[in-house]
Structure 1
Amino acid sequence: TVESFSISNLKFDIQSTNPKPWDPANFTLNYSFNKRKDQDPTTEYEYTNDYRGSFQYTWTPYIKGLKPFGWIKSKSKNLKYIKEWEFNYLPSNISFLTTMSRYYYEQQTRSEVDQMFQLPVSVSKNFLWDRQLNLSWNPIKSLNLSFTSNTSARIDETPGAVNKRLFPDEYKQWRDTVIHSLLRMGTPWAYNQNFVGTYKAPFNRIPVLDFLTASVSYNATYNWDRGAEIEGISIGNNIRNQASWNYDGRLNLESLYNKFSYLKKVNQRFSNRKRPAVVKKAKKFERNFQLKQDTSIVITHNLRNKKVKVVATTIDGKPFAVRTQPRDANSVEVTTRGDKTLKFTITEIIKEEKNLWSEIGQHATRFAMGIRSVNLRYRTSHSLNLPLFGPDIGNVFGQTNSRGPMAPGLDFAFGFTDEDYITKAKERGWLVIDQDQTSPAIWSRTEEFNLDIDLEPIRGLKIKLTNNRTDNHTNQIQFMYDNMPTMYSGSYTKTHCAIATSLRTSKADNGYQSEAFDKFLSNIPVIAQRIQNRYEGLLYPREGFMANNPNAGRPFDPEVGPVNQASSDVLIPAFLAAYTGTDAKKIYLTPFPSLRHILPNWRVTYDGLLRVAGLDRWFKNITLNHAYQCTYTVGSYSSYLNWIGVNGTLGFNQDELTQQPVPSSPYNISSVAITERFAPLIGFQFTLKNDLKFNAEYRNGRTLTLNSDAGQLVEAQNKGLIIGVGYKIVGFNTILKMRGSGHGISNDLTLQADFSLQENQALIRRIESAYTQATSGTRTLGINFSANYVMSRRVSIAAFFDHQVNTPLISSSAFPTTNSSYGLTFNLSLTR
């Protein structure tokens, strides 16, 4: 038998004109239960009960914000924002939801051997209580705050069956346990909290600052999960937090320039946007005058222009020649004498005055306004995962006072912590210190920086500069030990520039000799000496592997252990200096350069060739483009287990052969790479007046991978030429004198042909022996052709032919191959 009952969204829709917290419409109830009873010859009874209930409260206040500066009487647009600024003292939304669910299953199985024998009752039960809180608040229009929390708890129950009829004593004990657990809000199993704050600067509402755009957001999460229990003893809970700051800003300098009338005029003149020319209508003056025999006459026309055209006609409309000369901007003198009455028509002459200095000034001004916009984005985030955390959570912000002050603390809940929090928690006794439990605390930090600058120094020439940097750090702290040993790991990448050594080829006839690699080898002792100089005056540590070393506490001595020239500490700066074209005596020594060492990448396009005299007679458009992309990457790194620091990243590691201390950073970096691409080095696209399209580009790239563990540099080079031709024959049926498909469909034939020639080569350069070996190389010739014909609205036909020839540049690496493919494609569209 099945018994069910359900009430959904029970509420009284009674609400005040101005919503009040106690309005009945703010409350919503839900309740349901489902009971099932089964029995059969092998089952005496089987009960399945499922109860669910929820209570929700939602209030959305409506209030008028406070305007503390509303008394300002000024009508200035720049003060309008301050005048209208308002403060909302109540949250915009409050929502609370509590949900309870209870599942109970009980089964009594019959004994098939002895019916008088009572088998044990099988029981499965689960009593859960979830609580959610949502708050939204907009204190001011540009600031949005939101808070969400979710607590999952379990209501404690006694073991065994819950059957008032069969087990009354056990039932009473179960009831008391449940009531006691409900009064304590249950036993928490998980807590999740999220806080988001977003602020957008109101520059768009302040005319003098509307060229600026800026926003900042903060997101913090906090999670608590109950840990396992072994024989009734808790081994600690797990807490995590994560916080991120996002800063976005844009500087629209073109909008700033246009705030000044002269700069706006210059921008409009050199704008790429075509505007219809506004023709100024010449002003005209007409009137009849009679010439005089003895003197000249003066005609006042008030045209405010000294350059005018004077036409005289007789009363019957015949032209009459007169001599005139301007007196000022508003009058002319007629020197012709006589007694005739003439009709004078005086028209101003409109002609834009240009002079050399004005032209030079406008072009120089436009060039000075070459920076058009600047976009900045910075993101920093950090997280802390802390296992073996002893305290439970409370009912407010996931905090408890059971072990002194609030644990884990509001600073942890809202993300304002760093790795020093581990020491704080350990000192306050919040951590379960058990050296048999070695789960480390994990602290992670990520920084992302992006800067884009748009330049247009002359009309049609657009340059985009891109600067990026991403730095990831992860520390694993073994806090259960006294010295809290830490393992470091992470990755790093930034935009770089190695153009000083670009576009250089290596040939087999000279042993693949490379000036950059030779410079790299000569930089190694220079960098090693610079690092060794930084250790002068430092003392050897006394702890760790140096505890029983006779040199412990003594000044650094290169005779004990010099700087290892094969280490990544030496090879990476030497590598960067050589392939970047920088002096080894000035290159930075850190493998993780700061923001000031970011070098830009760029993309350049120019579409102004059509303005060259005569080219627009044959071309619809011409575009030249060039792009340079280069990154420096530390793929991943770790730290040395026995490294001992003495001053920041300066420290000592134990030499595996001599067991003596050698200068070393804490980072074990196996490889770094410089990836460079000209994509393309030079490229162009143009379309003729007859719609014939051409495109061509030359690409070049290389990847330099320094493997310090293997003592080698892998250099992979690639270059390629691509040429393409395309043409679209509109209404191909009319050319063949075929009947078209009608229905407004143009039966077009699109043709495209591409030719490509690419060459790839890979070299391994041994650092210790200065020997270079080619490992692979291929030259690839490709010819591709395609045609697409539209037969009707639903049917199209495509044909293609691809031919590729691969020729190995190293005979031992591969064999020449040729691949060809061709085919037809029929496309049928059944959609409406």
Structure 2
Amino acid sequence: GSKSRLYDIENISLTYSYNEVFNRNINTEFSLMREHNGGVGYNYNNSPKNYKPFSKIKFLKKSKSLRLLKDFNFYLLPKTISYRTDFNKSYSEMKMRNIASLNATVPLNIVEPDTMFNKLFNLTQNFNIKYDLARSVKLNFSSNTRSIIDEPEGKIDTQAERDALRDSVLTFGRPTMYHHQYDVRYTVPINKFPLTDWVSLTLNYSGTYDWNAGSMALVNDSINLGNVIQNTNKKRINAQLNMNTLYNKVPFIKRLNAGPKNSRGGSKNSRSDSRRVAKDSKEKNKDSDKEDPEEDEDEEEDEKNTLDHIVNVFSHFARMAFSVKNVNMSYDETNGSMLPGFKPTSEFFGMAQRFSPNSAPGWRYLLGGQPEELDLNRFASNGWITSDTLLNQPFTKQYTSRLNIRSTVEPIKKLRIQITAQRSETINTSSLFKNNGNADIPIFELLNENQTGSFNMSFLAIGTAFRPMEINSSQTFDDFRNIRSQIAHRVAKQSAADYGVPYYPSGNYPVGFGPNAQEVLIPAFMAAYSGTNPASQKLNKFPDIPLPNWNVKYDGLTSIPWVKKHFKTVSVSHGYTSTYSISSYQTNLFFADLGSPFTGTPEQNPDNFDVSGDFLTELQIQTVNISEQFSPLIRFDVTMNNSLTTRFDISKDRQVSLSLNNNQVQEQAGKSLTVGVGYRINDFEVTMATANGSKTFSSNLDLNLDVSIRKTVSAIRSLEENTHQPVSGSTDISIKTSADYVLSERINIQLFYDRMVKKYEVANSFDTANSSFGLRLRFSFGN
């Protein structure tokens, strides 16, 4: 078809509909309902031309360093522009009959019923644009506005009322809701440079803005609670590092990555190098060895084999040194806020005034900027915030961040290691920003600020993972109790340095940092259950750097001749995942009122201390958790040449929770062993009776047997009393067998037997056993 143009008449669309219903009956003198629906739309879609002004310059084509300039491009026109306005106008008037007066034999003094009116005039506007500024820069924006056309009360039968309605329509009515969202994506051309062509980097910024009108019922001469505005912004960074591309910049490493080119395992270059050395050695000793040529040949072959072996060993170590194949990193950060009591309206893309540079709430807020207390005070001084003292809706802010790192490592052939790390944090802040004075002399203040949040990151607790889990004792728990004193003195010294206050040592524990102080327990808990030296344990409750977890898989055992002879495939895998998390925390409101926290003694500054004699902390944390899973610790998946498959799986897990409310540690540990066997009988024939006699089916019969044993134990350990209390414990034995047979494409039949036995380790529970067996028939009704 022809090229789309901005001014094409077919881009415009018009719609209109009208409906009228008139009704009258013995009770109703008349009832009239009219409804108008219509809309005007503009829709432009195009595949704009991409301009590359420097792409045909010869010297730019030949230069890799100037690739960025050669690939410079832009678009003049957007891909999509759409705008649509729709209206819905409904009008009804109804008058009831005065039936009592009509049936009366004598005149009745009854007021004639008034005519009742019901009117609604809604207007919606939608705008959307998609504009690729260049191939690496993409912009999307969309907005939506809802408005009400306010009409004069009653029937519009005067010129003044008609003029008022017309003016309201021409100004698009009174807005009740405005929303816009935008998204900007930028692919950073860092890969256009020869030194960084192994790096891919993408930046993304997106956000939203909302304006919602307050209730008109709460707007009068004495009350004005204003409107509500809110916004969000999201920043995302994605980076990909292709390490092979980086390694291949070095010719020797490039040859290593290319791998061997013959069955003997040595690369062409390495073997030629070793032969060249052997040849030189032969020439040097040629004269001295003339009298014994056979001995010369043996020595030459030995030298050649030795050099080949040295080169191969060096190549293997070199491959291990450059085993990281790729690294992927992503970081997301989202911020949002909601501000009630906002007085200005929404006129132009969320602005209160169309073309004023100082219009509320300002471009920064419209584009996702988060207001601080200074911004709120500026809003108030500009008259944008209601001074009504009845405002009690909180001003809120939200913050979330998430970091993900993933890397693939291949130190040797067919050994693949996936290394991951993650960190996430959520913070929610709530406060009141309102007039704390009176209507005549407003005094705006930020009151009762409260913060809640959560934290999660990948962790390493493998240092204590293989210690035995006992109900009545725990070496790790004992370490936790014993290192608290050392951690307490480190925390006290750091606090003294941070706040510039004296350090008060007092016996085993310094003043303000007792054995059950939050600032002491959390780093001691992390050190003890990760196996970290308490002298090097970080004291930060929210660590900045996540620790690695991993998954390992090796498929190279079949390269061993004996294994290859007896097995079709052999796979060995291992996985480790651990997390450190704070499920929830909140602001300590008493801490905010302290002028000099972490100072003095209970006698000097009693307000700085809690009832236990520990310093008040800024955040009150309820629970700290460490979880760990070896999933699996080790697993073998084997397929034999006769189609027999076997699976051997050992898994291990534990969850440890520190409750800061009662100073107790709850620990749960589990380990499981699973053995699975499967066998497929190809073309297994089954004869079944049918209505017409019998029919023989030929299909694969899959036989499976899985046996698993899992043992779990849980205990609560008290820091105060140094006691251990069993909570639960059990041994679960599961046996699952099945035989699957496919009768046809749509019918599958399965014979199964399952048994679950649960044996409890505690006296207040009874052992249980459940068995199930039967026949399952599956019908597929798909195409």
Q: TM-score, normalised by structure 2?
A: 0.84
8 Å contact kept, 1:741–1:792:
no
Distance apart, 1:68 and its partner CA: 4.2
Aligned-pair CA distance for 1:65: 4.7
Cα 1:401/1:269, change in 2 over 3 Å: closer
- Counterpart CA distance in 1 for 2:595 and 2:326 is 42
More displaced 10-residue stretch of structure 1: 792-801 or 244-253: 792-801
> How many angstroms does 1:142 deviate by?
1.5
Whichever residue aligns with residue 469 of structure 1, its letter is R
Task: Work out whether 1:76 is the aligned partner of 2:66.
Answer: no
Q: Judging changes above 3 Å, is the alpha-carbon distance between structure 1 residues 433 and 527 closer, same or farther for their aligned structure 2 residues?
A: farther
Task: Name the SS of the counterpart of 2:318 in structure 1.
Answer: helix
Is the contact between residue 654 and residue 662 of structure 1 (CA under 8 Å) also seen in structure 2? no
Partner of 2:225: 235
Say whether the 8 Å CA contact 1:419–1:443 is kept in structure 2: no
Alignment correspondent of 2:549:
601
Q: Deviations over 1:137-160 (max 9, x none)?
A: 111111111111222111111122
Aligned residue for 1:614, secondary structure, equals helix
State yes or no: 1:698 paired with 2:650: yes
Measured against aligned partners, the alpha-carbon deviations of 1:345-402 in whole angstroms (never above 9, x if no partner) come to xxxxxx9997233222322222222101101111011001111111112224434379
- Contact kept, 8 Å, 2:514 with 2:613, in 1: the verdict is no
Match of 1:569 in 2: 519
Q: Match of 1:816, as an amino acid?
A: D
The corresponding residue for 1:673 is: 625
Q: Which amino acid in the other structure matches residue 766 of structure 2?
A: F
**2:362 — aligned with what?**
409
Larger mean CA deviation between 17-26 and 245-254 belongs to 17-26
**607-616 or 389-398, larger mean C-alpha shift:** 389-398
Cα distance in 2 for partners of 1:826, 1:185 equals 64
Query: What residue number does 2:179 align with?
Result: 192
* In structure 1, C-alpha distance between the alignment counterparts of 2:20 and 2:355, rounded to whole Å: 40
Structure 1 contact 561–660 (Cα < 8 Å) conserved: no
Moved more, 703-712 or 393-402: 393-402
Quick one: structure 1 residues 483 and 788, their matched pair in 2 at CA, closer, same or farther if it must change by over 3 Å? closer
Write the distance in 1 (CA, Å) between the matches of 2:599 and 2:231: 31
Q: Residue 487 in 1 paired to residue 450 in 2?
A: yes
1:227-306 aligned within 5 A: 227-229=214-216, 230=218, 232=220, 233-258=223-248, 261-269=251-259
Match of 2:411 in 1: 457
Q: C-alpha displacement at 1:438, in angstroms?
A: 1.9
Q: Does 1:118 align with 2:69?
A: no
Q: Which of residues 580, 583, 603 in structure 2 aligns to 1:632? A: 580
What is the match of residue 55 of structure 1? 40
Provide the residue aligned with 2:536 in structure 1.
Answer: 586
Shift in Å, 1:214: 2.4
TM-score relative to the length of structure 1: 0.79
Distance 2:47 2:552 in 1: 53
Residue 381 of structure 1 corresponds to 334
Once the two structures are superposed, the pairs formed by residues 697-736 of structure 1 within 5 Å of their partners are 697-733=649-685
Point out the more displaced range, 36-45 or 188-197: 36-45
| 1:707-740 per-position Cα deviation (integer Å, ceiling 9, x unaligned) | 010210000111110000000101111899x999
Cα distance, 1:533 vs structure 2? 2.6
Distance (Å, rounded) in 1 between the aligned partners of 2:18 and 2:620: 61
Alignment of 1:353-432 (within 5 A): 355-400=308-353, 405-420=358-373, 421-432=375-386
Q: Return the index of the structure with the highest Cα Rg.
A: 1
Query: Letter of the aligned partner of 1:150 in structure 2?
Result: N
CA distance in 1, matches of 2:369, 2:454: 24
**Helix, strand or coil at the partner of 1:516:** helix
Following superposition of structure 1 onto structure 2, how do residues 792-811 of structure 1 map, counting pairs within 5 Å? Answer: 792-811=744-763
Deviation at 1:825? 1.0
Going from structure 1 to structure 2, the CA distance change for 1:662 and 1:791 (only over 3 Å counts) comes to closer
AA matched with 1:805: V
**Partner SS, residue 747 of structure 1:** strand
Residue identity matched to 1:764: I
Maintained 8 Å contact 1:796/1:828: yes
Give the match for residue 283 of structure 1: none
Task: Select the residue among 19, 24, 27 that pairs with 1:34.
Answer: 19
1:133 aligns with 2:127: yes
2:287 equivalent in structure 1:
none
Confirm or deny: 8 A CA contact 1:732 1:747 kept in the other structure. yes
Q: Which amino acid aligns with 1:466?
A: T
CA pair 136-533 structure 1, distance change in 2 beyond 3 A? same
Matching residue's letter, 1:817:
T
The residue type equivalent to 1:451 in the other structure is: I
Query: How does 1:492-507 map onto structure 2 within 5 Å?
Result: 492-507=455-470
Choose from 418, 427, 444 the match for 2:398. Answer: 444
- Structure 2 Cα separation of the partners of residues 791 and 63 of structure 1: 56
1:650/1:228 Cα in 2 relative to 1: closer, same or farther (>3 Å)?
A: farther
Deviation at 1:104, TM superposition (A): 1.0
Once residues 226 and 338 of structure 2 are traced to their aligned partners in structure 1, the CA distance between those partners, rounded to angstroms, is: 13
**Distance change in 2, residues 1:691/1:278 (3 Å):** farther
Give the corresponding residue for 1:474. Answer: 428
- SS for the counterpart of 2:573 is strand
Verify: 1:824 aligned to 2:775, yes or no. Answer: yes
Decide whether aligned partners of structure 1 residues 255 and 219 sit closer, same or farther in structure 2, where only a CA change above 3 A counts. Answer: same
Distance change in 2, residues 1:161/1:277 (3 Å): farther
Task: Give 2:496's aligned residue.
Answer: 536
CA shift digits 1:467-498 (9 cap, x unpaired) = 00001111112222535331010111000001
1:69-218 equivalences in 2 (<5 Å): 69-70=54-55, 72-74=57-59, 75-76=61-62, 78=64, 79=66, 82-115=69-102, 118-162=112-156, 168-169=157-158, 172-201=159-188, 211-218=198-205
CA drift of 1:649 comes to 9.3
User: Cα offset for 1:826?
Assistant: 1.7
Q: How big is each residue's C-alpha offset from its partner over 1:58-82, in whole Å with a ceiling of 9 and x where there is no partner? A: 3456765554434631232735563
- From the superposition, tell whether residues 790 and 606 of structure 1 become closer, same or farther in structure 2 (CA, over 3 Å): same
Q: Tell me, what secondary structure is at the counterpart of 1:106?
A: strand
Deviation of 1:258 after TM superposition, in Å, equals: 4.3
TM-superposed CA distance for 1:750, in Å, is 0.5
Are the aligned partners of 1:539 and 1:556 in contact in 2 as well (CA < 8 Å)?
no
* Equivalent residues of 2:178, 2:350 under 8 A apart: no
Structure 2 unpaired stretches of 5+: 103-109, 269-275, 284-303, 437-444
Alignment partner for residue 663 of structure 1, among 598, 603, 615?
Answer: 615
* Conserved 8 A contact 2:225-2:341: yes
Q: What is the aligned partner in structure 2 of residue 546 from structure 1?
A: none
Question: In 2, Cα distance between the equivalents of 1:555 and 1:429?
Answer: 46
Q: Cα–Cα, structure 1 residues 648 and 734, in superposed 2: closer, same or farther, change >3 Å? A: farther
Which residue is 1:758 aligned to?
710
- Picking from 553, 561, 565, the partner of 1:613 is 561
Contact kept in structure 2, 1:391 and 1:403, CA below 8 Å: no
Report the CA distance shift for 1:656/1:179 in structure 2 as closer, same or farther (over 3 A).
same
Label 1:202 to 1:436 Cα distance change in 2 as closer, same or farther (>3 A): same
| 1:50 CA displacement | 1.0
The CA distance in 2 between the partners of 1:614 and 1:666, in whole Å, is 65
Range that drifts further, 776-785 or 558-567: 558-567
Change (3 A) 1:127 1:612: same
Q: Greater helix percent: which structure?
A: 2
Are the structure 2 counterparts of residues 569 and 435 from structure 1 closer, same or farther at C-alpha, using a change threshold of 3 Å?
A: farther
Residue identity matched to 1:478: L
Whether the aligned pair in 2 keeps the contact of 1:568 and 1:708 (CA below 8 Å) is yes
Instruction: Write the letter of the residue equivalent to 2:20.
Output: K
Q: Which amino acid aligns with 2:207?
A: A
Change (3 A) 1:621 1:66: closer
CA displacement at 1:662 relative to structure 2: 5.4
Q: Which runs of 5+ in 1 are unaligned?
A: 1-14, 163-167, 280-304, 308-325, 327-350, 541-553
- Percent same amino acid among aligned pairs? 29
Contact 2:587 2:618 (C-alpha < 8 Å) held by counterparts = yes
